[in-house]
Amino acid sequence: MKAYLRVLDDEEKLPNENPSVGIILCKKADKACVEYVLQDYLKPMGVATYQNNLAKLKELLLPEEDLKNLIHASEDEIEK
């Protein structure tokens, strides 16, 4: 993630944009493991837990068919 964010900020971020933020979603996380892995990371970071609420998420998202159409339209645009 660290390398990805560095490249993203160096190569893609516009001058008026804030630094990129990485989000890693995990089904389970061991607090000791997370603390160990992140102990030398010097940039601001937040670590949180969440509860899965798929019903609420489905209410907020477009219907599956609409999402597929958007993806295909984006792919077609990229190919042009």
Instruction: Report how far apart, in Å, the C-alpha atoms of 57 and of each of 46, 62, 64, 76, 79 are.
Output: 22, 10, 12, 27, 31
Q: What is the mean pLDDT of residues 38-57?
A: 74
DSSP letter for 71, please: H
Q: Is the pLDDT of residue 8 over 80?
A: yes
Given this model, what pLDDT does residue 21 score? 83
Q: Is the pLDDT of residue 10 over 90?
A: yes
